[in-house]
Structure formats: C-alpha cells, structure tokens
C-alpha cells in the first residue's frame, strides 16, 4: 500500500478494561498496513470515517436483543469462576503470564451485558453493512453480528462438553472444521485450524443471510459469514493473540486489503 493512505480500521471495546485486546488487535492491524482507531461507548472525540470495522471481544451481548433473558445461574457461575481463576492465574503466573495480564486489563467473557456498547456497535455495524466496508467480528463480535441480523445465541455452551473437556486457553489448542467454499476457508487456506478459546457463549440460530463457516466436532459454531457481502466474517476465537500463525494474521491482511482497495474477496 505504498503511496496510498492507510485505511482506517475501527476497533470496538469496553469503556473499562480491554486494553490488552486492543493492544494486540492494533498491532495486527498495523502489521497488515491499516490505521487502527479505538472506539468505546463513552469516547469524547468524534468517530472517524471508517474503511473497516472490527467488533472486538468482551462482555456478553444483551439477551434482550435476541428475545431472551439472562440466565441467573450464569451470573453466579461467573462470580464463582472469577474467584477460583484468580488463584489459579496467580499460582501459574510465570507460565501463563499473558492470560493473567489479559484478565487484569479486560472485562473478558465473564462480564455481564453492556447496553451502551451494544448501542454503539449497533450503529457502527448498521453503517458498515450499508456502506459495504469489511467487518470482522471477534468472539463477542461474531455473536453480535449474528444477533444484529436476527439470529440467537446459546447463553451457556457447557452442555456441549460432556464428552470432552471445554478448552479455555489463549494458545491454539482447539481444532475446528472450516466449511469449504467460504471466504474463511480461502483466507486460512485449510479446512481445519487450531485456535484458542475464551468464550462461554456461541451462535445458535443463524441470522438473515448468515452462513456457518466453521464449527467444532461437537457442533459448537466457531465462525459465521455473509456470503453476499465482500467481507463480513465473525469468529469465536482471538486471532490477535496468535501473531505467530500466518494463516490467522491473514484475516487482518485481507480485511485491510479490502478496506484500502475496495476489492471483493474472490469466491470459490
């Protein structure tokens, strides 16, 4: 992109916490040739004109947005897990330092709904879809895209892991199956991938125009996309924490390329 203006990529996040996720996402966008801009609900400055949008991870999407109610036991479980995890993270500080830092600076997937953030991302996503600019949803972001388009979510996916334990790690230890013929398949270059896992919720009913792009063997949805749009992809994992894996960084590269050139990603 030499000689061209760097495309501006908006990256959403919470008002409190979320710095580590923003930091790694910003690095990935810069490596891809883009200009990241952090967007939060209570930001004072005017939102710039965006060439691309990344809806980041964090708090749960408000259940009211997809006609459901928050499960009380999830709030109780979150409080219990926080206590146990703090002890575990401190004990394993040396070997799991990055995870500890993320918990210190981010609300993470244990946070409850954030209506103000929902409202901000609703406006941003509506505008992005109308203008046809590329959109990448990460974890909560994937769920929000689906809900925005009329889909629903599993609020608690623990029941899917009766046979095998649920992975919860920033390291690429979960294997997923990618649907052939999707943009995600072309970008990653394989029908399988090893990814990290930090989520407790997932897509249930797909929204209008949404197709499933990846899943786990147990059926938990790991990625969605809109085939009629040049680039709207939602993924449950965090590629920003996998800078060592080229195929994962290709997600940011392709997004920034499209944001800068306006060229639709070729379909199979």
Q: Please check whether residue 92 lies inside any domain of the structure.
A: no
Q: What is the CATH number of the domain that holds 228?
A: 3.40.50.880
Q: Give residue 254's domain range.
A: 8-70+102-261
Q: Please check whether residue 75 lies inside any domain of the structure.
A: no
Whether the CB-CB separation of 9 and 236 falls below 8 Å is answered with no
pLDDT mean over 8-27: 95
Whether the CB-CB separation of 43 and 121 falls below 8 Å is answered with no
Residues 90-99: tens digit of each pLDDT: 444 434 455 5
Q: Please check whether residue 76 lies inside any domain of the structure.
A: no
Q: Please check whether residue 206 lies inside any domain of the structure.
A: yes
Q: Please check whether residue 80 lies inside any domain of the structure.
A: no
C-alpha dist (Å) from residue 119 to 40, 61, 90:
11, 11, 35
Q: Please check whether residue 53 lies inside any domain of the structure.
A: yes
Residues 32-60: tens digit of each pLDDT: 999 999 999 998 788 889 999 999 999 89
Residues 147-167: tens digit of each pLDDT: 999 999 999 998 888 877 788
User: Of the ranges 67-71, 76-80, 224-228, which one carries the lowest mean pLDDT score?
Assistant: 76-80
266 has pLDDT over 50: no
1 has pLDDT over 70: no
User: pLDDT grade, residue 264 (50/70/90)?
Assistant: very low
Nearest Cα to 233, choosing from 252, 247, 257, 260?
252
CA distance 203 to 212: 9
Dihedral sign, CA of 83, 69, 102, 189?
Answer: positive
User: pLDDT grade, residue 111 (50/70/90)?
Assistant: low
Work out how many domains the chain is built from and give that number: 1
CA distance 100 to 148: 32
73 has pLDDT over 80: no
Nearest Cα to 157, choosing from 201, 113, 206?
201
Q: How far is CA 12 from the centre of its chain?
A: 10
Pairing assessment for the beta strands 135-138 and 52-55 based on DSSP bridges: parallel
CA distance 55 to 39: 9
User: pLDDT grade, residue 69 (50/70/90)?
Assistant: confident
């Amino acid at each position: 992109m030499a000689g061209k203006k760097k495309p501006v990529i908006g990256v959403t996040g919470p008002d409190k916490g979320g710095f580590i996720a923003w930091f790694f996402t910003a690095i990935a966008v810069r490596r891809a040739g883009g200009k990241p801009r952090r967007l939060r609900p209570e930001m004072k400055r005017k939102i710039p004109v965006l060439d691309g949008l990344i809806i980041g991870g964090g708090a749960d999407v408000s259940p009211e947005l997809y006609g459901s109610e928050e499960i009380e036991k999830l709030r109780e479980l979150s409080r219990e897990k926080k206590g146990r995890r703090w002890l575990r993270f401190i004990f394993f500080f040396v070997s799991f330092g990055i995870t500890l830092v993320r918990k210190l600076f981010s609300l993470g997937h244990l946070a409850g709904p954030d209506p103000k953030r929902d409202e901000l991302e609703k406006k941003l996503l509506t505008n992005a879809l109308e203008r046809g600019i590329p959109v990448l949803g990460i974890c909560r972001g994937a769920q929000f895209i689906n809900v925005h388009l009329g889909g629903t979510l599993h609020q608690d996916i623990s029941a899917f892991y009766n046979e095998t334990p649920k992975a919860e790690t920033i390291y690429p230890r979960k294997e997923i199956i990618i649907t052939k013929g999707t943009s995600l398949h072309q970008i990653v270059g394989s029908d399988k991938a090893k990814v990290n896992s930090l989520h407790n919720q997932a897509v249930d009913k797909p929204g209008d125009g949404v197709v499933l792009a990846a899943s786990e063997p147990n059926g938990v949805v790991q990625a969605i996309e809109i085939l009629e749009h040049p680039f709207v992809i939602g993924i449950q994992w965090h590629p920003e924490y996998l800078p060592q894996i080229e195929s994962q960084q290709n997600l940011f590269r392709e997004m920034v390329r499209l944001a800068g050139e306006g060229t639709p990603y070729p379909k199979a």
